[in-house]
């Protein structure tokens, strides 16, 4: 793992000083504990953000999360609560700034403030997970860690996303606030939608949408969308140069996240796509509830 970190840093320091290769390796337990500490400490003078915690872990594990121990995060948090400056602890780690930039790129839109009704019906401000699962609440799906698996259509290549097997017509959810950058046909992904995060660091790719009616009526290129909005419907289109063809055997959503540290990376031979298995499990804690309009047959986010 030391060699891996050195490769990362070489990419970071070469030409215009932006990251050219990154991985996202935290396990679900590491993500959940880091998030729990972030939420618990938010608004205090000992706030410890989860991107800081995860960058710290990557430094001490050399990004090998098979070494993860919850105790390491608890000890870090205890030091900060007891008066040590988080900045001093973290900046002493050799690769901290590098890992921090990667975790910021992946996670910066995932936690935030929101309003929720209490038991009396009064709206109260809270802080927590605001990014949503890509599958609507109440709709079944199955999944496994398939990142990097072999694909052969067109040419031999690796699977650079995460598949969620579900029924055709399952409402697909916008994970975080962003702008629709593309919609239309791609011979590999079929009907697909591309959404860019507000900070421009994340490009979300939703593919294999439903034949004949893949997109939600309200979605168009250039439009702002919000976390929890319905953007389309699952299907099995793709693997064809001809539009609107079902050549995928099993209906599912393929979703991917591309990290963009410089605009030149958006479409190139070395795009950075990350493993989303653990993150997808985490996002399942915040599923968007939807309702169906009986006249238009469209699903909408429940208000």
Q: Which residues contact 283 (CB under 8 A, 6 or more apart)?
A: 129, 131, 132, 133, 134, 175
Q: From CA 231, how far away is CA 247, in angstroms rounded?
A: 22
Q: From CA 207, how far away is CA 45, in angstroms rounded?
A: 43
3-state helix, strand and coil shares in percent for the chain, rounded to the nearest 5: 25, 25, 45
The mean pLDDT of 46-56, rounded to a whole number, is 97
The mean pLDDT of 49-78, rounded to a whole number, is 97
Write out pLDDT tens, residues 184-240: 999 999 999 999 999 999 999 999 999 999 999 999 999 999 999 999 999 999 999
| pLDDT at position 3 | 35
- Structure-derived torsion over alpha carbons of residues 280, 286, 103, 60, reported in degrees to the nearest 10: -80
The mean pLDDT of 176-191, rounded to a whole number, is 97
DSSP classification of residue 135: B
pLDDT at 296 over 80: yes
Share of the chain above pLDDT 70, in %: 95
Write out pLDDT tens, residues 79-101: 999 999 999 999 999 999 999 99
- Contact status, residue 248 vs residue 268, Cβ threshold 8 Å: no
| pLDDT at position 187 | 95
Using the structure block, give the residue that is written with the tokens 């989303």.
276
**Interior CA angle at 225 toward 164 and 182, to 5°?**
70
| pLDDT at position 116 | 86
- DSSP letter for each residue of 49-65: -HHHHHHHHHHHHTT-G
pLDDT at 152 over 50: yes
- Structure-derived torsion over alpha carbons of residues 289, 256, 104, 14, reported in degrees to the nearest 10: -170
Banded pLDDT at 122 (limits 50, 70, 90): confident
pLDDT at 11 over 90: no
Banded pLDDT at 102 (limits 50, 70, 90): very high
Write out pLDDT tens, residues 237-293: 999 999 999 999 999 999 999 999 999 999 898 999 999 999 999 999 999 999 999
Burial 185-213 (b: 16+ CB within 10 A, else e): bbbbbbbbbbbbbeeebbbbbbbbbbbee
| pLDDT at position 15 | 52
| pLDDT at position 113 | 95
Q: From CA 170, how far away is CA 251, in angstroms rounded?
A: 10
pLDDT at 9 over 80: no
Q: From CA 268, how far away is CA 272, in angstroms rounded?
A: 10
Give the residue with greater pLDDT, 43 vs 10. Answer: 43
DSSP classification of residue 122: -
The distance in angstroms from the start CA to the end CA of the chain is 46
Coil, strand or helix at 9: helix
- pTM, two decimal places: 0.92
Residue 65 burial (10 A CB sphere; 0-12, 13-18, 19+) = middle
pLDDT at 6 over 70: no
| pLDDT at position 154 | 72
Write out pLDDT tens, residues 166-175: 999 999 999 9
Share of the chain above pLDDT 90, in %: 84
């Amino acid at each position: 793992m030391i060699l891996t970190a050195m490769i990362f840093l070489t990419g970071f320091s070469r030409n215009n000083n932006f990251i050219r290769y990154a991985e996202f390796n935290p396990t679900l337990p590491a993500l959940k504990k880091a998030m729990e500490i972030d939420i618990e400490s938010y608004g205090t003078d000992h706030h410890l953000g989860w991107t800081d915690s995860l960058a710290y872990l990557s430094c001490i594990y050399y990004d090998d999360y098979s070494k993860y121990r919850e105790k390491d995060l608890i000890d870090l948090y205890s030091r900060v609560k007891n008066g040590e400056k988080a900045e001093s602890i973290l900046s002493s780690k050799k690769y901290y700034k590098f890992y921090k930039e990667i975790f910021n790129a992946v996670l910066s839109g995932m936690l935030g403030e929101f309003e929720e009704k209490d038991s009396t019906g009064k709206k109260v401000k809270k802080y927590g997970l605001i990014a949503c699962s890509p599958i609507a609440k109440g709709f079944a799906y199955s999944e496994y860690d398939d990142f990097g698996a072999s694909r052969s259509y067109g040419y031999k290549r690796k699977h650079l996303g995460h598949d969620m097997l579900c029924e055709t017509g399952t409402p697909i959810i916008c994970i975080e606030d962003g702008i629709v950058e593309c919609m239309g046909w791609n011979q590999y992904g079929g009907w697909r939608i591309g959404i860019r995060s507000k900070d421009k660091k994340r490009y979300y790719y939703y593919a294999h949408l439903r034949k004949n009616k893949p997109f939600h009526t309200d979605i168009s290129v250039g439009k702002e969308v919000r976390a929890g909005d319905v953007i389309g419907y699952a299907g099995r289109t793709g693997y064809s140069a001809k539009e609107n063809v079902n050549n995928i055997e099993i209906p599912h959503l393929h979703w991917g996240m591309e990290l963009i540290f410089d605009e030149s990376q958006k479409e190139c031979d070395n795009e950075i796509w990350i493993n989303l298995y653990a993150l997808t499990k985490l996002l399942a804690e915040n599923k968007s509830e939807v309702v169906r309009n009986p006249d238009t047959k469209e699903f909408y986010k429940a208000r």
